[in-house]
Structure 1
Amino acid sequence: MFNGNIVGNIDVASIAFWAFVLFFIGLIYYLRREDRREGFPLEDDLTGRSLGMGGPLLHAAPKTFKLPFGRGTVSTPTIGKEPFEIAGRRVSPFPGAPYVPTGNPLTDCIGPAAYAERSRLPDIDAFGNNRIVPMALEPSFSIARGDPDPRGMTVIGADGAVAGTVAEIWVDRSEHQVRYLEVVTAEGVHALAPMMMAKIRKSARQIVVDAINAAQFSGCPQVETPGQISRYEEDKISGYFGGGYLYANRARQEPLI
């Protein structure tokens, strides 16, 4: 007979447990749908055949995001296959086999020289200003007292030859550090070399960039607009110099033993 004692007739611990189980199942279901907004549908590694999204219950409907500072919108997941041809051939016909470059590996977006199709607009700070700029455009920046000024120093490539001279420094307004060294080659090409790949020899007034050879500085990806660099151009430059640690010369591609 019901005596009016509600709590005494309900197993609160059991209700809490099953509520958590149902919530957790729902959370996993939601996250598995959301994480398919990028990188799907999967493709067969050998044939390129699409493996599908796994049914309507396993992928979420497209969602549109508003970009800050009036830069439009972006929707995910994208519809259809993104056109891209790999400038390389497989060394063996099995999944996961490495590719051998068939063109210029430093610019063909392959292996360590790969880059992403990022925005063609420059990265901006919290105030809407271009984040990475030449130091000449940011008078509040200066070289710290006691530190060597790279401008005017000679740049040496991985082969020990002279690549050019540093004409300008590109700084990051948000993180207050040097991002690129603008190197002018003998041919008059302006190449942006990542600062993290440079080693300064203060006494010799030299900067060694061992990622690529001296002659390869002239082939470095260029910025379209003087005084600013887009996110896409950042990735291409990083890929060019990063790929040099494998592709700059033949000896780097061979086994150590």
Structure 2
Amino acid sequence: MTTPATPVFLDAAAVSLYIFFAFFAGLIYYLTRENKREGYPMVGELPDRPGFATMHGFPETPAPKVFRLHYPEGATVVQGVRPERDVSAQLAPDYPYPGTAFVPTGDAMKDGVGPAAYADRADTPDLAYDDNKPKIVPLRAAPGWHIAHEDPDPRGKSVITLDGAVAATVVDLWVDRSEYILRYLEAEVPGGRRILVPMFLCTFNDEGTTQVISVTASQFAAAPGIARPEQITLLEEDRISAYFGGGHFYATPERSESCL
């Protein structure tokens, strides 16, 4: 018995290629859409024509994601619903046309703008996954943690800033119990106020003297503090890191100008 002829010719290689093309097109669509979770929709800066340049493009901006938080248990947060910091009074356009750069109107390091900008994070401590306790604490509140004997111990030594002045005395170090790393150096300035400095901005000599070239002595004393002596929140972490990081651009007028 012969097989009847059919007008349909099935080429497996061609079908596989078409399936790949369809998959790849879908992948590009998906990645392009997910790429718009930040920075979209684009909004114009013309004050007399609000929303003039609002644009989603193709494909449309995806719906906001809902994230489940580790703590408190069962809590969720929706992407993009938290209002951003209003820094309109701290910045002014350099030139009167859309797209121009903004320049600080006051003390950029204190105002938290430009390179010294910080995110308005939750004013709660970052908790360890295993015990739901703050994971960044001073060594005085972390039994069992200590400085290795072969490493210099800066506690009790001076902090020297950008201008060569002795700005403070180191009183403690803050450890991240989850990452096994020192995160902050705690120093006391004249008058008794205590400042936390990110460890990655500190350098030490063999005697343990600390050098912080991010800021001057007066700027060091004016750095953001923490509300509780043995606890730092996510918001405080961002503010402190932004302040000292911004000092590499704003600490002196020379730093904010080009070399040529």
TM superposition score category, shorter chain reference: 0.7 to 0.9
Q: 1:212 touches 1:245 (CA, 8 Å); kept in 2?
A: yes
Change (3 A) 1:167 1:5: farther
Instruction: Return 5+ residue gaps in structure 2 as ranges.
Output: none
Amino acid at match of 1:25: A
Comparing 45-54 and 236-245, the one that deviates more: 45-54
- Please give the TM-score of this superposition, normalised by the length of structure 2: 0.86
TM-score (ref. length: structure 1): 0.87
Describe the shift of the 1:175–1:5 C-alpha distance in structure 2 as closer, same or farther (beyond 3 A): farther
Moved more, 138-147 or 89-98: 89-98
Aligned to 1:14: 14
Partner residue in 2 for 1:166: 170
Asked if 1:196 is matched to 2:200, the reply is: yes
Aligned counterpart, 2:54? 52
| Displacement of 1:230 | 1.7
- Partner of residue 143 from structure 1, selected from 127, 143, 147: 147
Deviation string for 1:87-145 (max 9, x for gaps)?
12232234553333211111212221111122222223331332211111211211111
Match of 1:85 among 80, 84, 87: 87
Pair 216,68 (structure 1): closer, same or farther in 2 beyond 3 Å: same
Task: Name the residue aligned to 1:155.
Answer: 159
Amino acid at match of 1:190: R
Aligned equivalent of 2:116? 113
**Counterparts in 2 of 1:24 and 1:78: CA distance versus 1, 3 Å:** farther
- For residue 70 of structure 1, give the secondary structure of its aligned residue in structure 2: coil
Q: Report the secondary structure of 1:123's partner residue.
A: coil
Higher mean alpha-carbon deviation, 27-36 vs 45-54, is at 45-54
How many residues end up aligned between the 2 structures? Answer: 253
User: CA contact under 8 A between 1:38 and 1:76: conserved in structure 2?
Assistant: no
Matches within 5 A, 1:1-257: 3=3, 9-45=9-45, 47=47, 49-50=50-51, 51-52=53-54, 54=56, 58-70=60-72, 72-78=75-81, 82=84, 84-86=86-88, 87-127=90-130, 128-203=132-207, 205-257=208-260
Measured in 2, the distance between the counterparts of 1:42 and 1:92 equals 20
- Which range moved further: 62-71 or 110-119? 62-71
Counterpart amino acid of residue 131 in structure 1: K
Distance verdict in 2 for CA 1:38–1:189, change over 3 Å: same
TM-aligned CA distance change 1:59 to 1:254, over 3 Å: closer
Instruction: Say whether the 8 Å CA contact 2:87–2:113 is kept in structure 1.
Output: no
1:154-184 CA distance string (max 9 Å, x none): 1111111111111110111122121111111
| Residues 18-61 of structure 1 deviation map (CA, whole Å, 9 limit, x = unaligned) | 11211222222223333333332212256594443527961223
**Could you say if the C-alpha distance between residues 56 and 98 of structure 1 is closer, same or farther in structure 2, counting changes exceeding 3 Å?**
closer
The residue identity in structure 2 corresponding to 1:40 is Y
Structure 2 CA distance for aligned equivalents of residues 5 and 198 of structure 1 = 82
SS of the residue corresponding to residue 167 of structure 2 reads strand
Q: Distance in 1 between matches of 2:219 and 2:134?
A: 28
| Cα distance between partner residues in 1 of 2:87 and 2:232 | 25
CA distance in 2, matches of 1:209, 1:67: 35
- Alpha-carbon distance in 2 for matches of 1:198, 1:175: 19
Cα distance in 1 for residues equivalent to 2:194 and 2:78: 36
CA RMSD of aligned residues (A): 2.7
Q: What is the CA–CA distance in structure 2 between the aligned matches of 1:46 and 1:160, rounded to whole Å?
A: 46
Rounded Cα–Cα distance in structure 1 between residues aligned with 2:252 and 2:39: 33
1:22/1:88 CA distance change after superposition, 3 Å: same
Identity of aligned residues (%): 40
